[in-house]
Structures are given as structure tokens and as C-alpha cells.
Structure 1
């Protein structure tokens, strides 16, 4: 009788284990299905968002009303060549990772370390950029249009007017990337639009004679 009871108890336990394993397999398959559907929704949202940004960027050109010619040229590599190299549903994504040998003395935005400058340039934006493969040419980047307008009181002197995009933002900082004893101000934890004030601040920093870092001193010779 005891042997029969043990055998029945063992069979019941084995059945419960089998049912539990089967249930876990089903749950895992369901989770994979849900995750796949979520990834699909994310990709679709990225495609829609990317299309909206592209369409909005294209429509902004029409809103810059001025008779002065644009000093920025559209880059045919990005407008014509690159789309033919990418698939039709391509969406930029992912995280760029690079290794750095050595350690810069500091991350001052105007220091003379090439590696530090490369990292800083990845976090900043410029008004214009060079055409792909062409030196001393300008194409739109943060700016949609750049104009050279003569001064009203002195037509022989020109001033430059820059029309900035309104869809470029500074991303919030991640507190996990900083030491525990460093508390970031709430301003740096929020998303902010890039405006002309940012470029004015950069210009004022370059022209500050008390900033003796290598890059600032070099740029002052060109301004």
C-alpha cells in the first residue's frame, strides 16, 4: 500500500513538474511573441517619426522667405546617392561605441587633445558642414539657410543671417554617468531646444581673453 502511495505521489509530482515546465514554455513563447510585436511597433514608430522629421525638415525650407541667395548648398551625396545605398525602410538606430586608448587630462571644450575634441564634436552641432568629399564647401546642418546681406548704412559691408532649424534639441544628461557625490541641476535633466543663444554663448566663450585653451586661442585668430 505504501509503495502504491509513493508511486502515485511520485507520478503526481512528475505530472505537476511537467505541467509547470509546459506552462513556462508557453509563457516564454508568449513573451517572445509580445516582445517581437513590441519591437515591431517600435520600428514602425521610428519609421513614422523619421518620416515626420524628414518631411518637417523639407517643409521648413519653404518657410524661410527671403530673396537673398542661400550660401549653403544641398549635399547630393545625402539627398541622392545615400538613399540608393540604403533599403527603402531604413531607420537610423543603435548606439555608436568606440574605444579610446589613453586618458585625456580634461574634457574642456577648447582643449588641444584630439581624442577629447572628437568626443565633444559627437555631442555638439554645427551651423553647416562640408559637402561629402569636398573641401571648403558648406551644406545645411543646424542651419537651413545662410545669407550675406549688405548693411543699410554701408552697402559695401555684409552681415550674415543664419536661419536655424527648430527640430534640434539638447538631450538630457543621465545622472548614472556621473559620480554619486555630484548632483546635476534640474536644467540638465530636461530636453532643451538648440537656439541662437547657444551659438552666441559659444562665440562669446571663444572671444573671452581669459580662456587660454589651445582651440579657443586658435579660433580667435580666424574671427
Structure 2
């Protein structure tokens, strides 16, 4: 037989359930716009509602397909470009992205992965042709050639560049050297025909193509004007 304590507990639970149902109904808190209750309260068994829609495979598949379709439209690309430029214009965001990118690129796993991808790509003839055509197209732009030449002149033999130069490269004998430097800057070119030529009497630029593409190129004006 039920004890008085059990009866009192059962009665209290019934009253609590009734009060819960009353106020949930009063505030309409099962409505997502008004509250967060998933059930009517009391002893009501809730429907199998997922709190996180992303846990539903069907929902996830539909949303993923929609995102992919939107990403391939001109409107979607324009929107992403606009958002990207807006974010990049924020110095804090730009610094954070660059720091994260550098940290990720400097890991052994990342370096190994990039190396593997580059080797695999280099082995595909179509990929080599595509890269060559893209490189030629870029180097055909006067503004690109000028920019690369300016970068090469200011950086190639700067103190920072020399700090990262392998020791074997830094100890090249004079007879094999092509330039004379002072304080990390090129002052003369060693021309095979005219000896030491001041840098002011040289054409300074970069190689346009081939394995030396983008590297510093200094030519004696006397030789070139003949």
C-alpha cells in the first residue's frame, strides 16, 4: 500500500506538472520565436525534435548542395569577393589571417604536402604547359616587369636576403662572382668584356622566363648598346 509520503510526493508532482503546462501555454514558449521549450510540459513526451538541424543528414545535404550551387554563380562569386575585400581592409583581420597562414605554411606537414602536390603537378605535361602559358601572360604586362625589377633591385642583395643565403653561395670566389657589393647593395657588375662596370652603367631587371624567371638580371649597357 502507498504510504502517506508517497501520496504527498505524487500529488506534488501532479501540481508541479500542471503549473509547468499552464505557464508554457501562457507564454507560448514552444514557439521558437517566443521561447525554447520543446514540449508542452508536465508529463508530455516531446517529439523527436533535433536541436541542431546540422545533425540531420537530409538537411545537411540540402544546405551543402545549395551552398555549392550559389558559390558557382556570378552573383555568389561577386558577393564573396566583396566580403573578402571588406574583411581584408580591416588591419586586425588581415594581421590575424597572415599570422595563421604563416604558421600553417611553416609546419612540416604543410611543407611535405605542398612538395608532394608540386611534384605531382610537374609530372603532368598539361600542367607544365598551363603554367608556362600563365607565366608568359603575366610577364607580358609592363607593370608586372617593372614591379619585379624594383623588388629585385631593393631586395636581392639586401642584408635580410644575405642572412638567408646559404653559406656556400656567400663564399663564391672573386673570379666566379658576377657582382661587387657594399653594405649588402650591388655597386658594380663584373663584365667579362669590360671588367668592373658601375651599377649606374647597367640595365637592371629580371629574367622573364625559364628556370631563372623572376631572378635579378644585370646587363652591361656598353655590351647591350653595341
With the length of structure 1 as denominator, give the TM-score of the two structures: 0.28
Higher normalized helix content (fraction of residues): 2
Higher RCO, Cα 8 Å, sep 6+? 1
**Pair member with larger Rg:** 2
With the length of structure 2 as denominator, give the TM-score of the two structures: 0.28
